[in-house]
A and B are shown apart, each in its own frame.
Chain A
Amino acid sequence: MTGRTGRRSRRAEAASLVALVAKRDYVRTVRRRGFVFGTLLLPLSIAGFFFISSFASGELAPGGGGTDSGPRDFALLVANESDLTLAPSVLTPHVRLVERADGLARLGTGQADELYVVPDGYPTDATVLRFEATNSGFAIDALQRQAAQLRELGLLLQSALLATSDVPPETVARVMAPIGAISAQTTTGEPVGAGPSLGAFLLPFGFTMLFVLSIFITSGYLLQSVTEEKENRVVEIVLSSVPALPLMAGKIVGLGAAGLTQVIIWALSAVIAVPLLGDRLGDVSSVSLSPITLGLAMLYFALGYLAYGAMFSAVGALAPGSREAQQYAGVFGFAAVVPLIFAGVFLADPQSSLITALALIPFTTPATMLLVLTLTPEVPWLLVVASLVSLSVFTLVATVASARVFRATLLLYGVRPSVSQMISAVFARG
């Protein structure tokens, strides 16, 4: 057998072992109760939120819905019995003028929750009557709805009262809507689009949190897998069949696949849920979840996981026990969530130098770039490329160094290797 054939045979053997270890660790992980629960928690939470909010409001659409007696009219029903002329406008879009008898009939059939009657004595007497259906939904929901109705009814009556004076209609319109604010650039004075709303920030923030969380959950499984084999004294039996590097590679691939499975299920849940829950979550129309964003997010997840996974497997190998391993890993964990501490900066100025620095420091790259990608309307390609290069180089170096530490320290039972031993292991050859 020639040397080249021998090397090829070894590579094939090593590849088959990587696949074997990966398959075994993947199957074992996705069958864990904790994994199943953690993976389904997000979709179940979304579904729960959807049904609870629907049930609480008694509606299936915002402000409207159905009951046993048919669809409700969610309009603001107003019966005008005064001498004023009430004229609905764009400021009072929900107002429907009805006769009192008609409105009361709608209350009776459950088609409406409230009827407002402007009585004969108005405006001498400011009293406005409100008739309510017997079942007008949950108290908080009804109070919120009625507060909105009173605001709109107030605008209707104010404009009607102004119309009785000699004030020109355009002045009446300006009195009713005195401010039409718009943001402008400080230097040019040109108008700019509205900044992201709270809802449009919270969703990407949550999305980033989930990605970062998944990197750590998955790396945590890797840490657990390595420390478990070490503590159970299985690792030497395994190492006599699988060399250290294919063993580490198999674990990273298998558990990475498990993490990716989790992320894909979460991402699909988000993709399905955002349109369904859009109105309930507030203004999320500016959230950027394009295929490019999702693809880049997956890439950052994969690279982030590879870097952290390699480091965590080295931590698992060199730590004397699982408790110490968790403590060591926590240091890296803190570094990764630093960008989330600066959430306010992301909202105020996504192009700040702080964010650029966080994007280029490999430890904080994944979380930073996931936030940047979901918060900025256009992909900042320069920053994306620079951060990907930085993260890729770091991932490569971390993987090689971690693999050497993994190989050198895995068989040390109950012994904490010194820093010099670890440095020697990193620079060792062969």
Chain B
Amino acid sequence: MTVPMIEQPADPDTRSPDSPVVVVDGVWKRFGATDVVQGLSFEIRAGEILGFLGPNGAGKTTTMRMILDIIRPDAGSISVFGRPPGVEHRSRVGYLPEERGLYRDVPVLDTLTYFGALRGLSSAEARSRATRLLTEVGLGDDLRKKAVELSRGMHQKAQVIATVLHEPDLLIVDEPMQGLDPVNAEMLKGLLVAQRDRGAAVVMSTHDMADAQTLCDRILLIDGGRRLLYGSVKDIQSAFSDGAVEVRGSGVSVDAEHYRSVAHAAIADGGVRFLLRDGVPAQELFRELATDGAAVERFEVSAPTLNEIFLRTVAGDERASAVG
């Protein structure tokens, strides 16, 4: 006689290091008559930055709040560190919401100490870490200042520090660059990369496709609560490659009819951007250019930017289904 196996939730301490930090599986959430999130599934892994993209109202913030257990899904499941999200994860999770601030009439050091204590640090440890980190970002002389006395840039620095004070294993940042001045934006980018490099899983919601392209290892694009794209940046760009070729040099014609392999040509960035006919490889255009006697300095098969992919996908593109 065999004893039936009872499936138990994995203990976080015995999980494989490769196990996803967060697993979102078929999650639905409805507010009133609107399905804000519709059967969404994805994973977040340790040591990666997942770009969470989508237009306004796509359901990004709602999804992040469900991962944080601020709100509960109506259907589907979410696991964080192998267990349902809950208060016991508070010491391992950091969150920088889109709507963020500090207590106006409280010294910034006291606010950060309180936030650190809420994340499971002892008050002494939280105060010590906050003092060190605030000093590192140049706020060492402003520790006792109330938030209302700080400049906006100082506010932003303090908010970022509050998010990583307890060195979380999962960092969720919602529109982190919004409202940041360039100096603080660069500081935050460096900090996100540093968090990833020390092994933390980072989820970043953003509307800035350039940031997403630069920082993210994988992206998840949603709209209307549904997943449209999901995968590594490279794979998605490859899937969306339209055969465009950028050529720089002398003797390169801008007339599309000059080359048999070209469907469309246009001047771009000091060179010419060719869109090849369906099924024609880039080598064919290179051969034609050589035959034509053009002195080619640069020949690059261009991939679409994330911004182009975003626009195409949200507007509707059949290639999205290949990586969605």
A-side interface residues toward B, CB under 8 Å? 1-2, 6, 9-10, 13-14, 17, 20, 24, 28, 228-229, 232-234, 236-244, 246, 411, 413, 421, 430
Contact = CB atoms under 8 A, between A and B. Distances in A.
Contact of A234 (B69, B86, B103, B117): B103
A240 B97 contact: yes
Contacts of B118: 17, 20, 238, 241-242
Nearest to A24: B114
Nearest to B106: A28
Contacts of A229: 103
A2 B8 CA distance: 8
B83 A6 contact: yes
Contacts, number: 75
Contacts of A234: 100-103, 111
A242 B120 CA distance: 11
B185 to A, nearest CB: 19
A240 B87 contact: no
Given A17-B118, A20-B118, A233-B100, A411 B87 contact: no
B104 interface: yes
A242 B147 CA distance: 22
A234 B105 CA distance: 13
Contact of A20 (B97, B100, B117, B147): B117
A17 B11 CA distance: 23
Given A1-B11, A228-B103, A241 B32 contact: no
B36 interface: no
Give 10 nearest A-B pairs by CB, closest first: A233-B101, A241-B118, A240-B95, A236-B97, A13-B87, A232-B101, A233-B99, A240-B68, A241-B90, A239-B70
B88 A232 contact: no
Contacts of B68: 239-240
Contacts of B102: 232, 234
A240 B70 contact: yes
A411 B88 CA distance: 22
B70 A242 contact: no
Interface residue range, chain B? 20 to 34
Interface string B6-24: 0011010000000000000
Interface of B: 8-9, 11, 32, 65, 68-70, 72, 83, 86-88, 90, 93, 95-97, 99-104, 106, 111, 114-115, 117-119, 147, 162
Contacts of B106: 28
Contact of A236 (B88, B100, B117): B100
B100 A17 contact: no
29 contacts: A1-B83, A6-B83, A9-B88, A10-B86, A10-B88, A13-B87, A13-B90, A14-B87, A17-B87, A20-B118, A232-B102, A233-B97, A233-B100, A234-B100, A234-B111, A237-B115, A237-B162, A238-B115, A240-B70, A240-B90, A240-B95, A240-B97, A241-B115, A241-B119, A242-B87, A243-B87, A411-B65, A411-B70, A413-B99
Nearest to B93: A240
A20 B116 CA distance: 11
Contacts of A411: 65, 70
Contact of A232 (B70, B72, B97, B103): B103
Nearest to A407: B71
Q: Which of B8, B72, B95, B97 has the most CB of A within 10 A?
A: B97
Contact of B97 (A237, A242, A243, A244): A237
Contacts of A9: 88
A1 B9 contact: yes
Given A229-B103, A238-B115, A240-B97, 6 more contacts: A9-B88, A17-B90, A17-B118, A20-B118, A228-B104, A234-B103
A253 B11 CA distance: 34
A24 B88 CA distance: 20
Nearest to A239: B70
Contacts of A228: 103-104
A2 B7 CA distance: 11
A241 B69 CA distance: 9
Contacts of B147: 232
Contacts of A2: 8
A240 B87 CA distance: 9
Nearest to A424: B32
Contacts of A13: 87-88, 90
B103 to A, nearest CB: 6
Contacts of B70: 236, 239-240, 244, 411
A28 B86 CA distance: 28
A248 to B, nearest CB: 14
Nearest to A418: B32
B254 to A, nearest CB: 52
Contacts of A241: 90, 115, 118-119
B283 to A, nearest CB: 53
A237 B95 contact: yes
A13 B86 CA distance: 10
A369 B31 CA distance: 43
A411 to B, nearest CB: 7
